[in-house]
Chains A and B, each alone.
Chain A
Amino acid sequence: MLIIDHERCTACKVCIRNCPFGALRIEDGLLQVNESCTLCGACVNVCRFKALGIERKQASPEELAKYKGVFVWVELDEETTPRQPRKVVLELLGKGRQLANALGEELVAVVLAGTGEVDLQVFGQHGADRVILCRHELLETYSTDGFTNVMCAVISAKKPAVVLYGATPHGRDFAPRVAARLKLGLTADCTGLEIDTDRQLVQTRPAFGGNIMASIITPYNRPQTATVRPNVFPVPEKQPAGSAVTEEFPVTLNRSAIRTRVVEKNTLVDGSEASIEDARVIVAGGRGCQKASNLDLLRTLAGQLGGTLAGSRAIVEQGWIPHTRQVGQSGTTVGPELYIAVGVSGAIQHVVGMSSSKTVIAINKDPEAGIFKTADLGVVGDALEILPILSALIEKEKQMQAASS
């Protein structure tokens, strides 16, 4: 509960203005808090009279210090042979290396794999000191129960200080189960990670659809666990000479422990179009494209730039593109070199899914469209007229380049 020290409070109302939940008010000259209070602490931070406080429980530093090392869950791309980690794993190894250095501890890649071949060199080359390899035929493909059981066994045995997961569909599926089973704090979809002076992991994440950022710590127990948004941290440079020690971790897993069964698979992603998560160039359509057939203009442009087509939630709900191509909070977070938004209004939920793009071009008829705020180049105009001319210019340029080379 929020503690209000009325002796110190001057009723200056700064806290009221800073409360994101409207939970504070002055009544009869005294500050009062109501049920909307979530104890987020925003008011405590802004009160310069130290009139506000929140009662917190205490943890024993000796107990917490027994947990050591930064562990990264290695999500393997099930389509590759030998199995390769997904790009987000390399991003996490890069960030994890910084955290491990700050703690003066080990960076460990935790690989859950089937019995087939796995590229194990890549982990040392991207900063890992050690690889914990868990092999079992039931880990060949992902299952919530299988991966939860094995990850819990690894964490219980090895006692890391930090565990990071990519905030991918699978990471977000089983990380909360691991956290709940081991009674650990878990912060979702982080976009910033730092070690503070108390050796705590400070996890920063967007909330309220990206309108606000929150920094979160896990002070009372270890490990501190987080899922981390893909395409936010850079992939570290590969060190060909880097190597990690591999340790086989014994796995006990029974088929009966896996309570879900996949009975059918429908793949929508055809080979001709790359997945949007790893795309270098994305041309994204929004409601302003008006109809599905107009997306051909975007496909053409994407083809010319070596990119791929994506879109906002609006056009996914219209059925113009499959959900696998949706950018945004409820779709995929992307971070391409170039993002061209065509007729996308730029709702904050869309913007948080593409704001780590290196370069953004936006075309929209509405000069007030939110997308222009994140664009490097914004053009107010009718994309359906502009795109054919742009594609013709690019075509001409390509022909000239071909002729001169």
Chain B
Amino acid sequence: MKIVVCVKQVPEVTNVQVDPATGTLIREGVKSILNPFCEYALDHAVRLKQAFDNISISAITMGPPQARDVLLRCLELGADEGILVTDRKFAGADTWATALTLAEAIRTAVPDFDLILVGKQAIDGDTAQVGPEIAEILGLAQITYGVEVTLSSSRKQVRVTQEVERGYEVVEAALPALVTCSKGEVVRRAPSFKDVLQARKKLIRTIRADAIAIPEGQLGLQGSFTQVVKVFPPPAKKTNTILQNLEVEKAAQEIFSFLKEKRFL
């Protein structure tokens, strides 16, 4: 059985600061990491591999050559092979062009896949669109917001506990299918020295534009339906009152007065 996990390299956005003068991101010292939701997806794949025999995991990413680093990380965490989809022709892809390229790369590299696991969204773009778009392009059933992923004993069905607004639902679909993951283990296992050494022996394949069956006009920016016309800093925050060094009674009184003044009491 073959599981494909789609992953993305992202800047660690919690640390991203905006330059107040230019309104652009300050990148110095910002690390690139494996998108946390993709790591959850990989977690689920590794868990399935531990629970069932004969499962292989392919981690695939589309990105610049340095995205190889996240594939290496996936290999350390338990993926069996990495697939790097990289070409200058892919630059500027929106979610549609990204999904089309990844879907075609999966068809090329792992044509007999059974299950695709992806993170529910990437923490840089936050669109949550690429997963469902891949599912549509490959004609697969999709289950979003998965927190637990298991297989039926026949291994013909995937069973997913998904987060919904009022709680959880358990949803089943026949394989092949695509599942987006919003959670995995909260405390994840750090790869051991042995994992790191083993990862180095695993294969990372590279797929370029000429290897996939998409006309050049449908790749990257040329193939994108949306176009960014402007990038700017978020609107300035409102002016505010910050009170410091107050006795707790005085602090409570200040909040109380504020609530009264604003007519919440």
Contact A37 B227 (CB under 8 A): no
Q: Measured between C-beta atoms, what is the minimum distance from A14 to chain B in Å?
A: 9
Residues of chain A from 1 to 50 with CB closer than 8 A to chain B in the complex:
1, 17-22, 34-42, 45
Q: A1-B91, A218-B225 are in contact. Are A208 and B25 (CB under 8 A)?
A: yes
Total contacts A-B at CB 8 Å:
315
Q: Does B141 contact A (CB under 8 A)?
A: yes
Over the window 168-198 of chain B, the binary record of Cβ atoms lying under 8 Å from chain A Cβ atoms (1 yes, 0 no) is: 1111111001000011001000000000000
Q: A186-B129, A266-B169, A380-B245 are in contact. Are A218 and B226 (CB under 8 A)?
A: yes
Q: Does A260 contact B (CB under 8 A)?
A: yes
Contact A263 B234 (CB under 8 A): no
Q: Measured between C-beta atoms, what is the minimum distance from A116 to chain B in Å?
A: 19
Contact A389 B133 (CB under 8 A): no
Q: Does A220 contact B (CB under 8 A)?
A: yes
Over the window 52-86 of chain B, the binary record of Cβ atoms lying under 8 Å from chain A Cβ atoms (1 yes, 0 no) is: 00000000000011100000000000000000001
A144 to B177, CA, bound (A): 13
Residue in B17, B27, B132, B165 whose CB lies within 8 Å of A180: B132
Q: Does B143 contact A (CB under 8 A)?
A: yes
Contact A45 B230 (CB under 8 A): yes
Residue in B167, B220, B230, B245 whose CB lies within 8 Å of A269: B167
Q: Measured between C-beta atoms, what is the minimum distance from A366 to chain B in Å?
A: 11
Q: Does B16 contact A (CB under 8 A)?
A: yes
Q: Does B142 contact A (CB under 8 A)?
A: yes
In the complex, which residue of chain A has the Cβ closest to the Cβ of B248?
A: A385
Contact B22 A18 (CB under 8 A): yes
Q: A322-B167, A324-B167 are in contact. Are A261 and B22 (CB under 8 A)?
A: no
A397 to B194, CA, bound (A): 65
Over the window 238-265 of chain B, the binary record of Cβ atoms lying under 8 Å from chain A Cβ atoms (1 yes, 0 no) is: 1011111110110111111011101011
Q: Does B164 contact A (CB under 8 A)?
A: yes
Secondary structure class of chain A's binding surface, majority of residues:
mixed
Q: Which residues of chain B are near A243, meaning CB under 8 Å?
A: none
Q: Does A367 contact B (CB under 8 A)?
A: yes
Contact B143 A260 (CB under 8 A): yes
Q: Does B127 contact A (CB under 8 A)?
A: yes
Q: Does A348 contact B (CB under 8 A)?
A: yes
Q: A42-B231, A188-B129, A394-B256 are in contact. Are A375 and B242 (CB under 8 A)?
A: yes
Q: Which residues of chain A are near B213, meaning CB under 8 Å?
A: none
A381 to B145, CA, bound (A): 37
Residue in A38, A41, A181 whose CB lies within 8 Å of B136: A181
A187 to B95, CA, bound (A): 9
Residues of chain A from 127 to 150 with CB closer than 8 A to chain B in the complex:
144-145, 148
Contact B171 A261 (CB under 8 A): yes
A218 to B224, CA, bound (A): 9
Q: Does A285 contact B (CB under 8 A)?
A: no
Contact B132 A169 (CB under 8 A): no
Contact B231 A176 (CB under 8 A): no
A174 to B120, CA, bound (A): 13
Contact B240 A56 (CB under 8 A): no
Contact B240 A389 (CB under 8 A): no
Contact A397 B25 (CB under 8 A): no
Q: Does A219 contact B (CB under 8 A)?
A: yes
Query: By the criterion of a CB under 8 Å from any partner CB, how many residues of chain A are at the interface?
Result: 110
A148 to B96, CA, bound (A): 16
Contact A176 B129 (CB under 8 A): yes
Residue in A260, A277, A323, A398 whose CB lies within 8 Å of B172: A260
Contact B94 A185 (CB under 8 A): yes
Contact B252 A378 (CB under 8 A): no
Q: Measured between C-beta atoms, what is the minimum distance from B223 to chain A in Å?
A: 9
Contact A379 B254 (CB under 8 A): yes
Q: Which residues of chain A are near B262, meaning CB under 8 Å?
A: 338, 359
Q: Measured between C-beta atoms, what is the minimum distance from A379 to chain B in Å?
A: 5
Q: Which residues of chain A are near B14, meaning CB under 8 Å?
A: 209, 347-349
Tell which of B22, B24, B144, B225 has the most Cβ of chain A within 10 Å.
B225
Q: A22-B27, A380-B244 are in contact. Are A35 and B64 (CB under 8 A)?
A: yes
Residues of chain A from 317 to 332 with CB closer than 8 A to chain B in the complex:
317, 322-324, 329-330, 332
A217 to B177, CA, bound (A): 32
Q: Does A195 contact B (CB under 8 A)?
A: no
Contact A266 B246 (CB under 8 A): no
Q: Measured between C-beta atoms, what is the minimum distance from B143 to chain A in Å?
A: 6
Contact B99 A180 (CB under 8 A): yes
Q: A187-B226, A212-B231, A217-B229 are in contact. Are A176 and B133 (CB under 8 A)?
A: yes
Q: A187-B226, A208-B13, A268-B167 are in contact. Are A394 and B243 (CB under 8 A)?
A: no
Q: Does A213 contact B (CB under 8 A)?
A: yes
Contact A185 B226 (CB under 8 A): yes
12 new A-B contacts at CB < 8 Å, known A186-B129, A207-B126, A219-B227: A17-B22, A22-B27, A38-B92, A40-B92, A145-B141, A169-B163, A173-B144, A186-B96, A208-B11, A211-B25, A338-B262, A363-B251
Instruction: Spell out B's residues near A (CB within 8 Å).
Output: 11, 13-14, 16-19, 22-25, 27, 37, 64-66, 86, 88, 91-92, 94-96, 99, 120-121, 123-133, 135-137, 141-145, 159, 163-174, 177, 182-183, 186, 217, 220-222, 224-235, 237-238, 240-246, 248-249, 251-256, 258-260, 262, 264-265
9 nearest CB pairs, A to B:
A39-B92, A185-B225, A259-B141, A268-B167, A35-B64, A180-B136, A188-B127, A389-B252, A264-B170
